[in-house]
C-alpha cells in the first residue's frame, strides 16, 4: 500500500476563519509543482482525499487535474483532527495491498499521520514543508511499518 501525505501550499494570513484561508499565488504555484512531480514520476492514485479547508481543496484540485483524478473530501484530516480517527477511517476503507492514495491536509495532522506510519506513534509531529509530498510504503495499514520511499518539496517561490 502506498500513502502519499501532502501538506497544502502557502496560504494567506487568517482574515476570517482558518478554514476559509486560500492559497496565495505562491501556494498555487507550489501545489502545481507538487502535482507535476507526481505526474512526472508516474503516480497513479486509487483515491485522492482532502480536508474541507479551502487551501487543502485548492491544493488537491491541482493534483486531481494533473492526475485526472476525482477528489473526495473528509473532515477527518483537518488541522486539529484526531489522528486515531483518521487512521480508523482509512482502515474502514479496506484498501487492497496494491492501493495508492493521497491525503491532502495540514499540520499538525499530516505530521502525526506520518509519525504513526513511520514511527508507530501519533504523539510526535514530523515536520512537513508547504506542498511537500511524502510517499510512504506500507505492507499493511499499521503503526510503524511504513518506509519513506521518496518525497518532494517544491521551492518556496518560483525561480
50 grid coordinates: 482532502
From residue 52, alpha-carbon distances to 37, 66, 135 in Å are 23, 20, 22
Instruction: Identify whether 91 is preceded by a cis peptide bond (ω within 30 of 0).
Output: no
Q: From the CA atom positions of the chain, what is the Rg in Å?
A: 14
CA separation for the pair 113, 153 (Å, rounded): 18
Q: Maximum distance among all alpha carbons in the chain?
A: 43
Question: What are the residues facing 152 on neighbouring strands?
Answer: 133
Q: Which DSSP category does 7 fall into?
A: E
Sign, CA dihedral 106-108-109-114, equals positive
Is 55 annotated in a binding site? The answer is yes
Name the binding residues for substrate: 55
Name the binding residues: 55
Amino acid at each position: 500500500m502506498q500513502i502519499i501525505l501532502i501538506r497544502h501550499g502557502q496560504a494567506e494570513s487568517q482574515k476570517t476563519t482558518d478554514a476559509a484561508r486560500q492559497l496565495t499565488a505562491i501556494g498555487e504555484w507550489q501545489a502545481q509543482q507538487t502535482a507535476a512531480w507526481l505526474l512526472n514520476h508516474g503516480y497513479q492514485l486509487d483515491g485522492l482525499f482532502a480536508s474541507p479547508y479551502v487551501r487543502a481543496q485548492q491544493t488537491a484540485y491541482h493534483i486531481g487535474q494533473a492526475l485526472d483524478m476525482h477528489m473526495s473530501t473528509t473532515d477527518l484530516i483537518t488541522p486539529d483532527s484526531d489522528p486515531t480517527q483518521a487512521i480508523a477511517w482509512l482502515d474502514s476503507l479496506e484498501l487492497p495491498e496494491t492501493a495508492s492514495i493521497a491525503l491532502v491536509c495540514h499540520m499538525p495532522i499530516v505530521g502525526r499521520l506520518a509519525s504513526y506510519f513511520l514511527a508507530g506513534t501519533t504523539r510526535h509531529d514530523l515536520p512537513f514543508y508547504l506542498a511537500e509530498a511524502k510517499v510512504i510504503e506500507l505492507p499493511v495499514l499499521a503503526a510503524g511499518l511504513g518506509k519513506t520511499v521518496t518525497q518532494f518539496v517544491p521551492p518556496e517561490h518560483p525561480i
